[in-house]
Amino acid sequence: MPAEPGQLKPSSPTTTDRERRIRGAIEEIRPNLQRGNGDCCLIGIDGSRAMVRLTGACTLCKLSSVGRKGIQARLVHKRGELLRLMPVAAAGEAVD
């Protein structure tokens, strides 16, 4: 179930080392998403959850969960970070 934007705690203005690691994992996956006319961006971090917004073709793609799981796997494998990526619904967009 996607989180609603009003329920999110926005990231602090100061980028933490943890946030940089999460953004780095997303950046590694983004070229693959962009090749299929989609994209993903970090919206906020709340404990062990990171909220991401899927855009473009990713909003309706049945494989969007595979992309999120790919980012999660990169965080665990390369950075030792255990985190769950949660899709955030934008106004007028469908999210799985």
Q: What is the pLDDT of residues 23-41, one digit of tens each?
A: 888 898 889 889 989 898 8
| 95 belongs to a structural domain | no
Structural domain of 26: 5-87
Supply the pLDDT for residue 48: 86
- Say if residue 68 is exposed, middle or buried (CB neighbours under 10 Å; 0-12, 13-18, 19+): buried
Supply the pLDDT for residue 91: 53
For the stretch 69-89, pLDDT in tens is: 888 888 888 778 788 888 887
As a whole number, the mean pLDDT across the chain is: 77
Supply the pLDDT for residue 8: 47
Number of independent structural domains in the chain:
1
| 96 belongs to a structural domain | no
Give the confidence band of 90 by pLDDT, cuts at 50, 70, 90.
low
Positive or negative, the Cα torsion across 67, 34, 3, 86? positive
Q: What is the CATH number of the domain that holds 65?
A: 3.30.300.130
| 93 belongs to a structural domain | no
- Say if residue 2 is exposed, middle or buried (CB neighbours under 10 Å; 0-12, 13-18, 19+): middle
